[in-house]
């Protein structure tokens, strides 16, 4: 989209995110509740309730928007690629979350023994915030190898397989399709205001690459 001067300005995107955030987060929270109560046994279930719903919402929205605007697919992103990217970003955030929790507990235990809780807690918070900002910035820039380098050796949890990442990402995309809407520009000649419409649609398009024949690909398209 950026290459074709279609990228929306930042204030507009911020307003869209704010409008999508609550319904998208609520949908994720409902899915997590189904998992906790045993009513959902989908393949993504073991991985879908490891982060708060609001964090998952923000990560998924930013990842998908970044891919749509910079992916070079004329305002689209391939579903498989988007799902894997979102799933990978969620996994990395969970690993960072685990690292921060371990650091916090170790620091608090040490602080309690030294009776320096207040000063040390401030230092811990600053350390956590600096690490989180660095990782978040890398994730937004889709520099996932750099994120993996940061967490390597600090988190001993078992890495997800590609199938798990794809399933988590796919479910988040599905929920965003169901909850994200945009308001079309007002038509001054129309007697009735335009109805909100889905911000994203799942469609099929024919794409072509250099030295490759045209073939049908599953794309994720933003409506305008």
126-182: pLDDT as tens digits: 776 777 677 778 777 777 788 778 777 677 788 899 999 999 999 999 999 999 988
Residue 17 has pLDDT above 90, yes or no: no
Name the pLDDT band for 110 (thresholds 50, 70, 90). Answer: low
Residues 162, 86, 138, 136, CA torsion sign: negative
Query: What confidence score (pLDDT) does residue 117 get?
Result: 47
pLDDT digits (tens, 9 = 90+) for 179-207: 998 877 665 555 566 778 888 877 776 66
Residue 85 included in any domain: yes
> What CATH code is carried by the domain that includes residue 148?
1.10.1320.10
105 has a pLDDT exceeding 70: no
Query: Per the domain annotation, does 27 fall within a domain?
Result: yes
Torsion sign, CA atoms 41, 46, 48, 49: positive
Quote the mean pLDDT of the chain: 77
Please check whether residue 54 lies inside any domain of the structure.
Answer: yes
CA atoms within 13 A on the CB side of 177: 13
Q: Give the model's pLDDT for residue 65.
A: 84
> Which pLDDT does position 172 carry in this prediction?
96
Residue 95 has pLDDT above 70, yes or no: yes
135 part of a folded domain: yes
Least confident among 35-39, 89-93, 204-208: 204-208
Q: How far apart are CA 66 and CA 189, in angstroms?
A: 34
Residue 111 falls within a domain, yes or no?
A: yes
18-27, 142-151, 209-218: range with lowest mean pLDDT: 209-218
Higher per-residue confidence, 194 vs 43:
43
Let me know if residue 192 belongs to a domain: no
For residue 87, pLDDT over 80 is answered with: yes
The domain tally of the chain equals 1
| pTM assigned to the model | 0.74
Determine the Cα–Cα distance for residues 74 and 93; give it in Å rounded to an integer: 29
Q: What CA–CA distance (Å, rounded) separates 100 from 10?
A: 30
Is residue 97 predicted with pLDDT exceeding 90?
no
Residue 76: pLDDT band (50, 70, 90) is confident
Boundaries of domain holding 49? 2-179
Is the alpha carbon torsion for 127, 132, 134, 135 positive or negative?
Answer: positive
Tell me if 207 is assigned to some domain. no
Question: Is 7 a domain residue?
Answer: yes
- Distance from CA of residue 64 to its chain's centroid? 7
Above 70 in pLDDT, residue 4?
A: no
């Amino acid at each position: 989209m950026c290459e074709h001067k279609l990228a929306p300005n930042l204030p507009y995107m911020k307003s869209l995110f704010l409008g999508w955030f609550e319904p998208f987060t609520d949908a994720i929270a409902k899915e997590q509740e189904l998992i906790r109560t045993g009513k959902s046994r989908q393949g993504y279930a073991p991985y879908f309730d490891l982060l708060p719903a609001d964090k998952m919402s923000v990560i998924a929205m930013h990842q998908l928007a970044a891919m749509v605007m910079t992916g070079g697919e004329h305002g689209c992103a391939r579903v498989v690629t988007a799902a894997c990217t979102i799933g990978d970003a969620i996994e990395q955030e969970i690993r960072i979350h685990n690292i921060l929790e371990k650091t916090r507990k170790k620091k608090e235990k040490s602080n309690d023994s030294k009776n320096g809780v207040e000063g040390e807690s401030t230092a811990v918070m600053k350390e956590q915030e600096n690490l989180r900002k660095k990782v978040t910035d890398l994730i937004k820039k889709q520099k996932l190898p750099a994120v993996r380098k940061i967490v390597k050796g600090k988190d001993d949890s078992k890495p997800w397989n590609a199938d798990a990442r794809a399933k988590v990402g796919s479910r988040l995309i599905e929920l965003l399709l169901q909850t994200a809407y945009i308001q079309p520009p007002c038509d001054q000649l129309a007697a009735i205001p335009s109805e909100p419409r889905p911000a994203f649609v799942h469609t099929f398009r024919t794409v072509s690459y250099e030295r490759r024949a045209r073939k049908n690909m599953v794309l994720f398209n933003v409506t305008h």
